[in-house]
Structure 1
Amino acid sequence: MKLSIFFSFLLVSSFHLSSSQRYNALFNFGDSMSDTGNVVLAGLPYGMTYFGRPTGRCSDGRLVIDFIAEGIGLPHLHPNTAKDADFHQGANFAFIAATTLPFDFFHQRGLSKGLWVNASIHEQVDRFEKLLPSICGTPQECRDFLGKSLLVVGEFGGNDYSTGLFASRNVSEVRTFVPPVTQAIAEGLERLIGLGAVDIIVPALLPVGCFPLYLTLYNTSDPEDYGPRTGCMRRHNALSWYHNTLLRRQLDRLRPKYPAVSIRFADFYAQVFDFAINPLKYGFKDGALRTCCGAPGLRNYNFNLHAKCDQNGSSVCPDPTTHVSWDGIHMTEAAHRIIAQGWLHGPYVDPPIVSSSNN
């Protein structure tokens, strides 16, 4: 590559990296960690803290993507299935229970029973591609429009792995899902880049071994199965760690291939893991492993499969801001707010979405 071309790429890249320019739009892809209403399943107390009503968000209030929108001066994202919504400032394509991989992958492995939302990453990108002309016009106009948009792609993978784990497949078998999952994420990113995306945040997989749901379902009497500082399950966190390692490798492969595109890794794992290690540092007085909205079950996690949040027998803690976990697998608004700050201002997205020069 000629030096002049190389330096021009660097200039373009540094513009997107250092400028938290006033984004014209925000687009999100993922699963229940960021769905803002494409799937509405639960009633109150979901949504109680901020919205005062259930909105389809799996939390007591706002999600990370809501705080990101607020942080860059944009409205909360409409779910892409909303009727008569204005999508000119963005849209949300995330679906509760969405897997990264298509249904065929799971059908071939006898894992069809737990699948009910056909919203793989490629299905979500298909929806995005179909919506774009109504927002920005011609392909070139859309490329210009996406040049001033922020895309958050993920997290993805959690439901792929839980589909196997909840069907009693062992962690070793589910670990074999990781390469095709991370490959599918990379392919989805390339499709978005092909449409004109230039600024993309890719969140890591969360440390699922710290979730009350997993701690309850897979509890053992062997102390070696748990981290001494966190109380989280080692094997399940190792699965998340492996996913994040391969995901980083995929992003490292894409960056030199698309030098004018900013592809930033959001370290969801490290943030939530730190909540488990240092809950008091963040004001989580009841620790990171105990559910706010739930009922007593196995061990001291306040999670019970027969009395889940919003079901008879469950109750809500007096103050959700003292908890990381809302319902055993999703987090509270308080946790989402702290996570979003780590993405907007660093250090968990590098460089952060909002640069210091614009604070």
Structure 2
Amino acid sequence: MPCKFFFLLMGIFHLFAAEHFGLPLPPASQAHGKGFKKGANFAITGATALEYSFFKAHGIDQRIWNTGSINTQIGWLQKMKPSLCKSEKECRDYFSKSLFVVGEFGGNDYNAPLFSGVAFSDVKTYVPLVAKAIANGVEKLIELGATDLLVPGILPIGCFPLYLTLYNSSKKSDYNARTGCLRRYNRLAFHHNRELKQQLDQLQKKYPKTKIMYGDYFKAAMQFVVSPGKFGFSTALQACCGAGGSGAYNFNLKKKCGEAGASVCSNPSAYVSWDGIHMTEAAYRMVANGWLNGPYASPPIMK
């Protein structure tokens, strides 16, 4: 089982992984005076799978929070490599004993065009490009020596309080009757995840000595939405941190979490959504356990 960790972009899974394996939290890869022998966190806020040039060419670069992509983070790893190992053989051996968590990538690649008003039909055409960019990144890591890689899909964005507020509809047919989530946005997420899994399956066949694990955010989050009480949640579609009592989803763009006028619920562990677009620690912990032991990873990390 891997004993060193390199996190490219992740929510808080690394907290639970480090806790599980008895490792220190991996420091930020750009931190000074830190040792990275036990791993590093390469995460960039708002990172994308596609390059910034793609969004600039499509006139939607104003909605990109930064210019960092999956390739940016892999580049940082390559620059760090000489400090971790001295020879190609030593490096491949070192990386073969590490767990690489590659993502979650993809969400921001769709948020940017959708929030910029790009036609939904056009955004759907990005899916093969985004999935391929993630797969290419995974392959680069394999070429560096990675053998254990967890690659998460994306969450059901149609269940996000942010999306439910922004794209509120008077048409009942726009919502799933069972979940209350927006159908077409969840279809987009499902389409992305299916495409990504196909790309990963191809890589697994190409590199049979690797273990490429798909982390299923979608299935986990949908179970929380369908049966919140079963998992200890009182609500799945309302944000804990935000405009408490504002609308059906406790979300208001003018009172976002951390901004003036926002409030925080008294019991975050009873909520699935933290701020309307990220889950709470309680929800992430359940997903993390599902990735480690099943059933939310294929195959689970520990099997």
Say which SS state the counterpart of residue 67 (structure 2) adopts: coil
Q: Deviations over 1:284-330 (max 9, x none)?
A: 11x11100011057631000110111111111101100001111101
| Separation of aligned partners in 2, 1:149 and 1:219 | 44
1:333 to 274, 278, 281: 281
Alignment gaps of 5+ in structure 1? 1-20, 35-62
Equivalent residue number for residue 27 of structure 1: 6
- RMSD (CA atoms): 1.2
Equivalent residue number for residue 317 of structure 1: 265
Deviation at 1:73, TM superposition (A): 2.1
Kindly indicate whether the alpha-carbon contact (under 8 Å) linking 2:74 and 2:137 is maintained by their aligned counterparts in 1: yes
Q: Deviations over 1:226-269 (max 9, x none)?
A: 11111111010000001011101101111111010111111111
Kindly indicate whether the alpha-carbon contact (under 8 Å) linking 2:28 and 2:41 is maintained by their aligned counterparts in 1: yes
Equivalent residues, number: 303
Say whether 1:190 aligns with 2:139: yes
Kindly indicate whether the alpha-carbon contact (under 8 Å) linking 2:148 and 2:211 is maintained by their aligned counterparts in 1: yes
Kindly indicate whether the alpha-carbon contact (under 8 Å) linking 1:297 and 1:304 is maintained by their aligned counterparts in 2: no
CA shift in 2, pair 1:119/1:104, >3 Å: same
2:78 to 107, 120, 129: 129
Deviation at 1:354, TM superposition (A): 2.3
| Separation of aligned partners in 2, 1:188 and 1:303 | 34
Write the letter of the residue equivalent to 1:343. Answer: W
Kindly indicate whether the alpha-carbon contact (under 8 Å) linking 2:3 and 2:21 is maintained by their aligned counterparts in 1: no
Say whether 1:304 aligns with 2:252: yes
| Separation of aligned partners in 1, 2:135 and 2:76 | 18
Say whether 1:83 aligns with 2:32: yes
Write the letter of the residue equivalent to 2:239. Answer: T
Equivalent residue number for residue 23 of structure 2: 74
| Separation of aligned partners in 2, 1:127 and 1:223 | 47
Q: Deviations over 1:106-160 (max 9, x none)?
A: 1111111112412111111111111111112222211010111111101111101
| Separation of aligned partners in 1, 2:63 and 2:86 | 39
Equivalent residue number for residue 277 of structure 1: 226
Write the letter of the residue equivalent to 1:173. Answer: D
Equivalent residue number for residue 238 of structure 1: 187
| Separation of aligned partners in 2, 1:277 and 1:76 | 33
Q: Deviations over 1:144-185 (max 9, x none)?
A: 101111111011111010110000112211111111111111
Kindly indicate whether the alpha-carbon contact (under 8 Å) linking 2:176 and 2:183 is maintained by their aligned counterparts in 1: yes
| Separation of aligned partners in 2, 1:284 and 1:115 | 32
Equivalent residue number for residue 168 of structure 1: 117
Kindly indicate whether the alpha-carbon contact (under 8 Å) linking 2:244 and 2:265 is maintained by their aligned counterparts in 1: no
Q: Deviations over 1:194-241 (max 9, x none)?
A: 000000111111101111011100110111111111111101000000
Equivalent residue number for residue 202 of structure 2: 253
| Separation of aligned partners in 1, 2:298 and 2:63 | 36
Q: Give the alignment's TM-score, normalised by structure 2.
A: 0.97
Kindly indicate whether the alpha-carbon contact (under 8 Å) linking 1:72 and 1:354 is maintained by their aligned counterparts in 2: no
Say which SS state the counterpart of residue 306 (structure 1) adopts: helix
Q: Deviations over 1:41-73 (max 9, x none)?
A: xxxxxxxxxxxxxxxxxxxxxx22210221122
CA shift in 2, pair 1:351/1:290, >3 Å: same
- Name the structure where helix makes up a greater proportion of residues: 2
Kindly indicate whether the alpha-carbon contact (under 8 Å) linking 1:186 and 1:251 is maintained by their aligned counterparts in 2: yes
Write the letter of the residue equivalent to 1:344. Answer: L
| Separation of aligned partners in 2, 1:247 and 1:162 | 17
Structure number with the bigger relative contact order (C-alpha 8 A, sep ≥ 6) is 1
| Separation of aligned partners in 1, 2:157 and 2:120 | 12
Write the letter of the residue equivalent to 2:151. Answer: V
Equivalent residue number for residue 93 of structure 2: 144
Alignment gaps of 5+ in structure 2? none
Say which SS state the counterpart of residue 255 (structure 2) adopts: coil
Say whether 1:119 aligns with 2:68: yes
Write the letter of the residue equivalent to 1:247. Answer: L
Q: Give the alignment's TM-score, normalised by structure 1.
A: 0.82
Say whether 1:288 aligns with 2:243: no
User: What percentage of aligned pairs have identical amino acids?
Assistant: 50
Say whether 1:107 aligns with 2:46: no
Moved more, 254-263 or 289-298: 289-298
Q: Deviations over 1:54-100 (max 9, x none)?
A: xxxxxxxxx22210221122221211111111111001111111111
